Structure 1
Amino acid sequence: MVEYKWIALSNTTIGVLMASINGTIILISLPAIFRGIAINPLTSFQYLLWLLFGYNIVTATLLVTFGRLSDMYGRVRLYNLGFAIFTAGSILLFLTPNSGDTGALELIIFRIVQGIGGAFLFANSAAIITDAFPYNQRGTALGINQIAALAGSLVGLILGGILATIYWRYVFLVSVPVGILGTVWSYLKLKETSTRVKQKLDVWGNVTFAAGLTFLLLGVTYGLLPYGSSIMGWGDPWVIASMVAGVGLLVAFPFVESHVEQPMFRLELFKIRMFAAGNIAGFLRSVAYGGVMIMLIILLQGIWLPLHGYSYQSTPFWAGVYTIPLLVGFVVMGPISGRLSDKYGARGFATAGMFIVMVSLLALSTLPYDFNYLEFATILFVMGLGNGLFSSPNTASIMNAVPRQHRGAASGMRATLQNSGQTVSLAIFFTIIITSLAGSLPSALAAAVSSYHLPALTYAMEHISPTGALFAAFLGYNPVGAILQSLPSSTVSTLSTNTIAYLTSNTFFPTAIAPSFMNALRLSFYIASAMAVVAAVASLLRGKRFVYEESQMEGAARTEGRTGERNGRT
Structure 2
Amino acid sequence: MSSNKLDGRLLRTIAVVLLGGLLGILNSTMAAVATGTLATAFDTSLSTIGWASTGFLLAVTATIPFTTWAVDRYGGKRLWVAGLALFLVGSLAAGLAWDVGSLIAFRVVQGIGAGLLDPLVLILLARAAGPRRAGRVMGLMGVVLSLGPVLGPIVGGALLGALTWRAMFLFSVVVGVVALVLAVRVIPPDEPVPTGPSRLDVIGLALLGPGFATVVLALSQAAEQGAFVVWQVLLPLAAGAGLLIGYGLHARRPGPLIDLRLFRSRSFSASVTIMGLGGMGLYAGLFALPLYYQQAHGHGVLAAGLLMAPLGLGGAIAMPLAGRLSDRLGARGLAFGGAIVAVLSMLALTRAGRDTPEVWPALAALTFGLGSGCFSAPTMGSLYRTLPEPMVAQGSSVLYMLNQLGGALGVALVTLVVQTASADPIAGLRGVFWLSVVSNLVVLALIPLLPGRGRTPEPVAAHPG
TM-score (norm 2): 0.91
Q: Which residue among 138, 141, 144 is the counterpart of 2:140? A: 144
Is the contact between residue 66 and residue 123 of structure 1 (CA under 8 Å) also seen in structure 2? yes
Cα distance between partner residues in 2 of 1:298 and 1:198: 46
Q: Which residue among 284, 288, 298 is the counterpart of 1:291? A: 284
Give the deviation of 1:160 after TM superposition.
0.9
Cα distance between partner residues in 1 of 2:287 and 2:52: 14
Partner of 1:234: 229
Give the deviation of 1:138 after TM superposition.
2.3
Give the deviation of 1:232 after TM superposition.
4.7
Whichever residue aligns with residue 271 of structure 1, its letter is R
Give the deviation of 1:175 after TM superposition.
1.0
Give structure 2 stretches of 5+ with no counterpart.
1-6, 461-465
1:174 is the counterpart of 2:171: yes
Q: Which residue among 101, 104, 108 is the counterpart of 1:105? A: 101
Give the deviation of 1:233 after TM superposition.
7.2
Cα distance between partner residues in 2 of 1:33 and 1:154: 21
Partner of 1:265: 258
Moved more, 403-412 or 209-218: 209-218
Give the deviation of 1:278 after TM superposition.
0.4
1:217 is the counterpart of 2:210: no
1:187 is the counterpart of 2:184: yes
Partner of 2:13: 8
Q: Which residue among 342, 351, 367 is the counterpart of 2:336? A: 351
1:256 is the counterpart of 2:255: no
- Pick closer, same or farther for the CA change 1:324–1:9 going to 2, 3 Å: same
Query: What do the CA deviations read for 1:508-554 (whole angstroms, capped 9, x no partner)?
Result: xxxxxxxx1122222222122111111121122123358999989xx
Partner of 1:450: none
SS at match of 1:137: helix
SS at match of 2:193: coil
Is the contact between residue 325 and residue 384 of structure 1 (CA under 8 Å) also seen in structure 2? yes
Cα distance between partner residues in 1 of 2:76 and 2:264: 24
Q: Write the mapping of 1:471-490 to structure 2, written as runs, cut at 5 A.
A: none
Partner of 2:3: none
Whichever residue aligns with residue 539 of structure 1, its letter is I
The RMSD of aligned alpha carbons is: 2.3
Moved more, 50-59 or 325-334: 50-59
SS at match of 1:262: coil
Partner of 1:523: 431
When the two structures are aligned, how many residues end up with a matched partner?
451
Partner of 1:59: 60
Moved more, 378-387 or 49-58: 49-58
Partner of 1:447: none
Give the deviation of 1:198 after TM superposition.
5.1
Cα distance between partner residues in 2 of 1:344 and 1:139: 10
Whichever residue aligns with residue 119 of structure 2, its letter is A
Q: Which residue among 516, 528, 532 is the counterpart of 2:440? A: 532
Is the contact between residue 326 and residue 381 of structure 1 (CA under 8 Å) also seen in structure 2? yes
Q: Write the mapping of 1:118-137 to structure 2, written as runs, cut at 5 A.
A: 118-137=114-133
Is the contact between residue 143 and residue 335 of structure 1 (CA under 8 Å) also seen in structure 2? yes
Query: What do the CA deviations read for 1:348-396 (whole angstroms, capped 9, x no partner)?
Result: 2123222221211111010113420111111011011012112211111
Q: Which residue among 290, 305, 308 is the counterpart of 1:323? A: 308
Runs of 4+ in 1 over 6 A off after TM superposition: 546-552
Give the deviation of 1:93 after TM superposition.
1.2
Moved more, 26-35 or 173-182: 26-35
SS at match of 2:346: helix
- Pick closer, same or farther for the CA change 1:219–1:134 going to 2, 3 Å: closer
- Pick closer, same or farther for the CA change 1:550–1:379 going to 2, 3 Å: closer
Give the deviation of 1:248 after TM superposition.
2.1
Cα distance between partner residues in 2 of 1:178 and 1:250: 36
Is the contact between residue 86 and residue 118 of structure 1 (CA under 8 Å) also seen in structure 2? yes
Give structure 1 stretches of 5+ with no counterpart.
98-102, 441-515, 553-570
Give the deviation of 1:195 after TM superposition.
3.2
Partner of 2:81: 80
Is the contact between residue 154 and residue 305 of structure 2 (CA under 8 Å) also seen in structure 1? yes
Is the contact between residue 159 and residue 167 of structure 2 (CA under 8 Å) also seen in structure 1? yes
- Pick closer, same or farther for the CA change 1:547–1:69 going to 2, 3 Å: farther
Is the contact between residue 64 and residue 209 of structure 2 (CA under 8 Å) also seen in structure 1? no
Cα distance between partner residues in 2 of 1:339 and 1:324: 23
Identity %: 25
Partner of 2:4: none
1:408 is the counterpart of 2:316: no
Is the contact between residue 223 and residue 233 of structure 1 (CA under 8 Å) also seen in structure 2? yes
Cα distance between partner residues in 1 of 2:191 and 2:289: 42
Partner of 2:23: 18
Is the contact between residue 202 and residue 264 of structure 1 (CA under 8 Å) also seen in structure 2? yes
Cα distance between partner residues in 1 of 2:439 and 2:146: 21
Give the deviation of 1:58 after TM superposition.
2.1
Query: What do the CA deviations read for 1:162-218 (whole angstroms, capped 9, x no partner)?
Result: 110122211111111211121122223322177332522111111111232233233
Whichever residue aligns with residue 87 of structure 1, its letter is L
1:158 is the counterpart of 2:154: yes
Query: What do the CA deviations read for 1:132-164 (whole angstroms, capped 9, x no partner)?
Result: 124332211221121023222222121111110
- Pick closer, same or farther for the CA change 1:245–1:222 going to 2, 3 Å: same
SS at match of 2:131: coil
Whichever residue aligns with residue 280 of structure 1, its letter is T
Give the deviation of 1:66 after TM superposition.
1.1
Is the contact between residue 401 and residue 546 of structure 1 (CA under 8 Å) also seen in structure 2? no
Q: Which residue among 15, 36, 39 is the counterpart of 1:34? A: 39
Is the contact between residue 56 and residue 423 of structure 1 (CA under 8 Å) also seen in structure 2? no
SS at match of 1:174: helix
Is the contact between residue 202 and residue 262 of structure 1 (CA under 8 Å) also seen in structure 2? yes
